[in-house]
């Protein structure tokens, strides 16, 4: 089978499995199994795949047919400007979350040596991206589950983000104290259980502990606002990613807790995705 035939075969198989972006994924898979870049593929598309590459392709397609996430198969994924290792036990970084990082960057612009806390850090994609963009910052990443925490550790290494500290902790147990932060950011679990049925088939392979946010999806926002407000400096920012139809409720929770300048930002699909607020 040539590279070109493998690409067409992959596209067809992915489409038949109900995968929307079969063209984009087929390109990524062919690049992954051949080790070639875009321009090399264009010049070498008549080259035969080796037996090893064909077996690898078959194995990948079998996994994608049952909708096992591509990101877990590849073992790493691009988020914002950086690469992150991902696998079973950790949430796959989503492009929607890049909006949250961008809002944080706007706020941090011009600040010297900002102290940042990333709660429910998962792969560490938010905190590590901020640490890289603001090398004079000090970033603490807090995560409850060891399966996810080991990804934070390897992503700190991968990105050489040594102005970070990964710690294990539970946001429901309150803040461990310590220095007040300029910015507290979180993309916590926020899906209400009744909405799990309508998530993508790939999401079923991600840990429920990274997804479920209590009966109305808002348990983590309530706990973080209550437990971590005292850990923010005056004038510091609390920044959340929120689920569909949650932004107004989270904005209300923040106002009721005395936060000011409560602001909602939409994502590229015009869904209210990020809520930020300032501690007076």
Ligand X SMILES: C[S@@+](CC[C@H](N)C(=O)[O-])C[C@H]1O[C@@H](n2cnc3c(N)ncnc32)[C@H](O)[C@@H]1O
- Work out whether 122 is an interface residue with ligand X (CB under 6 A): yes
- Work out whether 22 is an interface residue with ligand X (CB under 6 A): no
99/82 Cα distance (integer angstroms)? 14
Pick the closer one to ligand X by CB: 6 or 218: 218
- Work out whether 203 is an interface residue with ligand X (CB under 6 A): no
Q: Are 170 and 220 in contact (CB under 8 A)?
A: no
By three-state DSSP, how is residue 77 classified? strand
250/246 Cα distance (integer angstroms)? 6
Pick the closer one to ligand X by CB: 119 or 251: 119
- Work out whether 274 is an interface residue with ligand X (CB under 6 A): no
Residue with token string 């994608």: 64
Binding mask 173-192 for ligand X (x = CB under 6 A): --------------xxx---
- Work out whether 236 is an interface residue with ligand X (CB under 6 A): no
Q: Nearest approach, Cβ of 194 to ligand X (angstroms)?
A: 18
Stretch that binds ligand X, among 6-14, 40-48, 60-68, 119-127 (CB under 6 A): 119-127
Stretch that binds ligand X, among 15-23, 25-33, 90-98, 103-111 (CB under 6 A): 90-98
Q: For helices 125-133 and 146-158, give the axis angle rounded to 10 degrees.
A: 20
Residue with token string 């993508």: 200
Q: Are 271 and 217 in contact (CB under 8 A)?
A: no
- Work out whether 87 is an interface residue with ligand X (CB under 6 A): no
Strand segments (E) across the chain: 76-79, 82-85, 115-119, 138-143, 164-168, 181-186, 232-241, 260-266, 272-278
Q: Nearest approach, Cβ of 201 to ligand X (angstroms)?
A: 18
Q: Which of 15, 145, 150, 202 binds ligand X (CB under 6 A)?
A: 145
- Work out whether 3 is an interface residue with ligand X (CB under 6 A): no
- Work out whether 272 is an interface residue with ligand X (CB under 6 A): no
Distances (CA, A) of 109 to 12, 23, 136, 182, 184: 46, 38, 12, 12, 15
Pick the closer one to ligand X by CB: 19 or 126: 126
Residues that bind ligand X (CB under 6 A): 91, 93, 97, 120-123, 125-126, 142-145, 148, 170-172, 187-189, 209-210
């Amino acid at each position: 089978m040539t590279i070109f035939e493998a690409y067409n075969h992959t596209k067809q198989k992915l489409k038949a499995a109900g995968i929307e972006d079969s063209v984009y994924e087929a390109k990524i898979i062919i690049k992954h199994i051949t080790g070639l870049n875009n321009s090399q593929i264009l010049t070498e598309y008549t080259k035969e795949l080796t037996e090893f590459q064909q077996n690898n392709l078959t194995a990948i397609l079998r996994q994608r047919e049952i909708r096992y996430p591509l990101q877990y198969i590849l073992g790493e994924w691009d988020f914002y400007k950086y690469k992150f290792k991902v696998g079973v036990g950790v949430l796959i970084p989503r492009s929607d979350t890049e909006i949250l990082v961008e809002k944080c960057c706007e706020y941090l612009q011009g600040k010297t040596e900002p102290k940042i806390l990333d709660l429910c850090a998962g792969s560490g994609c938010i905190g590590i991206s901020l640490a890289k963009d603001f090398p004079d910052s000090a970033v603490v990443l807090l995560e409850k589950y060891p399966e996810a925490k080991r990804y934070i550790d390897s992503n700190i290494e991968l990105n050489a983000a040594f102005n970070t500290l990964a710690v294990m902790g539970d946001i429901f147990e309150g803040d461990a104290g310590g220095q007040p932060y300029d910015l507290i950011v979180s993309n916590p679990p926020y899906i209400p259980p009744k909405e799990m049925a309508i998530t993508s088939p790939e999401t079923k392979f991600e840990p429920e502990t990274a997804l479920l946010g209590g009966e109305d999806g808002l348990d983590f926002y309530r706990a973080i606002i209550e437990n971590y407000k005292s850990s923010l400096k005056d004038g510091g920012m609390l920044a959340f990613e929120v689920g569909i139809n949650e932004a107004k409720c989270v904005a209300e929770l923040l106002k009721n807790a005395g936060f000011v300048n409560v602001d909602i930002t939409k994502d590229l699909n015009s869904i209210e995705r990020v809520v930020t607020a300032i501690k007076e």
